[in-house]
Structure 1
Amino acid sequence: MRIAIAGASGRMGRMLIEATSRDEGARLVAALDRPDSAAIGEDAAAFLGSPAGVPISSDVDAALAGADFLIDFTRPEATLAHLEACRRHNVKMIIGTTGFSEAQRARLVEASRDIAIVFAPNMAVGVNAVFRLLDVAARILNSGYDVEVIEAHHRMKVDAPSGTALRMGEVVADALGRSLADCAIYGREGHTGERQDTTIGFSTIRGGDIVGDHTVLFAGLGERIEITHKSASRMPYALGSLRAARWLVSRDSGLYDMQDVLGLR
C-alpha cells in the first residue's frame, strides 16, 4: 500500500509515519504539512533515526500523484481541501479528523460517490469494540438508568465534546430509540432543576497531555455501570488506520467507518 500522510509534523502524523514504517505491507510515499510549517523539506521519518527518503511537502497534488491512500487526522478545512485533491487523483482516504459540521459531512458523502473513504471519529480497534458494547448495554439498561458521557483530552484539543464522545452518545441514543440532537445536554450550571430521564449528559475535561479517556456511565438506583476506554498513546489510532486502508483495497467508492472495517455491522 502506497501511503500519503497529512499533518506529517504533528503528534498524530508522526505516529502514523512510525506505524507505516513498521508495516511490511505499507510504504510511505508522501508526507504533507501546512505551507508555513517549519518541517517543510525535512525527511518525514528523520525523527525515527531512519530516514525514509520522503521530504515533507505542502504540494498536495504532487504528493498524491504516487499514492493509493491518504490518511488524514488534521482539521476539517484542511481535510476537505485534501478530499478534493483525492477525488482528482482517485486516491482513497482514511479520515480521523473530528469537528465537522453537518454541511461538511455532506461533502464527504458526495465525494464518496467517486472514491472510497473510511471516516470514523476513532480508528482504535478497542474503541470500536466499546461502541458495540455500548449498544448492547443500552438495550439492556433501557429503563431506570441515567446516561452520562465523560471524556478527557490534552490541553491542545480544539473541539469539544470529542468526536468519540459524540459517537458514544449517538450509539446509546440510537439503541434507546432517541435522537442525540434532541436529548443531549452539553453543560450544566446554576439552578438546572431535576435531571430528565431521557437526557444524555456530556462532561468535558481538557488538560495536560491526556491522549484520550472516555467513560459512559449508566447510573441506576443502587448501582452504576461504567464502560471505559483509556488511550495510553496514539499508536492504536495509527494501527487502526492502516487496518482500514487494507480493508479499502478492494473498494472503489463508498463511505464507511470502522464498524464496517471490523465487520461489526
Structure 2
Amino acid sequence: MARIGIIGSEGRMGQAIAQLLAASDEHECVGGVDKGKSPADLADASDALVDFSAPAALKDNLHAAIGAGIPMLIGTTGLEASHQAAIDSAAGAIPVLQTGNTSLGVTLLAALVRQAAGKLGPDWDIEVLEMHHRMKVDAPSGTALLLGQAAAQARGIDLAAHSESGRDGHTGKREEGAIGFAALRGGTVAGEHSVIFAGEQERITLSHSAENRMIFARGAVKGAAWLIGKPAGRYTMEDVLGLD
C-alpha cells in the first residue's frame, strides 16, 4: 500500500485527493501540510508526495522530498522559469512529475494536439480556449499552457515567443504561426479546454470537459504511485499512460 502525503491539503485539490485516498484499498493518505508548515516530517512518513500548494512553497517542498529520498508529483500551477529550473535540479536526485493537469483525459488530449499540430502546417491557426471557476487566480490555466506547449513542441517553436493572449482593442492581424490563448472565468466550472485548429474553409476542435474535480485527484494519485521506485528524472503524465 503506497503511503502518499499531501502538500496543500486544505485546498480544493488537496481535499479531493484526501477523500479519494480515504476510500482507497490500494493507497493510504499519511497526512498533509499547508501554508506555514514544514513538509519535512510528512516527507519522512511518505512513499511519495503530491504538491498542490503555491509556487512560493515549491523549493522548500522539493528540498523535503530530496531529503527523504522520495518522489514528488507537482500539480501547482502559475510556475515561472525559476521554478522549472528548481524542478530540473531536483530531478537529478529524485523522480519528479510536474504537470498543469493530472486528468488522464487531458493527458490524452495533449497527445492528440501534438499529433494534429505536427501534421497540419502553420497555415492552420491554433487557438486555446479555457474556462474555469471564478476563484481561479492564474490565467491562462496550467492546462491551457500544457496544451499550447504540446502544439509548440510539435511545430518546433518556442511557445513564449509565439503566444498571443489578452487581445483587446486594435491589435492588428493575427501573426502567422502564433498560438492564441483565451481565458474565461465564472461560476463553479471545474475546467473546460478546447484547442481549435482553424484552416482555410475548415476547422478542427479538440476538447475536454471536467465534470468533477475527482478526475484530477484520480490522476494525481495514479501518477504519484507510478513514480514510486522509478529512477531519478523528470517525468510527465504521458509517461504514466505509456504514450509516445
TM range (shorter): over 0.9
Aligned to 1:194: 173
- Residues 11-67 of structure 1 show CA distances to partners (whole Å, capped at 9, x for unaligned) of 1111000111222111111211224xxxxxxxxxxxxxxxxxxxxxx3422222211
Equivalent positions of 1:40-55 (< 5 A) are none
Length-normalised TM-score, structure 1? 0.87
2: distance between equivalents of 1:73 and 1:173? Answer: 26
State whether structure 2 residue 75 is matched by structure 1 residue 96: yes
Is the contact between residue 58 and residue 83 of structure 2 (CA under 8 Å) also seen in structure 1? Answer: no
Q: Which runs of 4+ in 1 moved over 4 A?
A: none
User: Aligned residue pairs: how many?
Assistant: 243
Length-normalised TM-score, structure 2? 0.94
Aligned to 1:168: 147
Equivalent positions of 1:71-220 (< 5 A) are 71-220=50-199
1: distance between equivalents of 2:39 and 2:95? Answer: 18
Is the contact between residue 30 and residue 64 of structure 1 (CA under 8 Å) also seen in structure 2? Answer: no
Is the contact between residue 8 and residue 51 of structure 2 (CA under 8 Å) also seen in structure 1? Answer: yes
2: distance between equivalents of 1:125 and 1:34? Answer: 28
Indicate how the Cα distance of structure 1 residues 252 and 173 shifts in structure 2: closer, same or farther if over 3 A, else same.
closer
RMSD across aligned positions (CA)? 1.4
Q: 1:70 aligns with which of 31, 43, 49?
A: 49
Structure with larger Rg: 1
1: distance between equivalents of 2:53 and 2:39? Answer: 14
Aligned to 1:223: 202
1: distance between equivalents of 2:38 and 2:120? Answer: 51
CA-CA distance at 1:97 after TM superposition: 0.7
Deviation larger for 234-243 or 188-197: 188-197
Aligned to 1:21: 22
Indicate how the Cα distance of structure 1 residues 28 and 148 shifts in structure 2: closer, same or farther if over 3 A, else same.
same
Amino acid at match of 1:27: E
- Residues 66-119 of structure 1 show CA distances to partners (whole Å, capped at 9, x for unaligned) of 111111111111232211111112221111111111111101111111111111
Aligned to 2:237: 258
Percent identity of paired positions between Structure 1 and Structure 2: 40
Secondary structure at 2:96 match in 1: strand
CA-CA distance at 1:143 after TM superposition: 4.3
CA-CA distance at 1:177 after TM superposition: 2.4
Is the contact between residue 3 and residue 29 of structure 1 (CA under 8 Å) also seen in structure 2? Answer: yes
2: distance between equivalents of 1:59 and 1:191? Answer: 49
Aligned to 1:11: 12
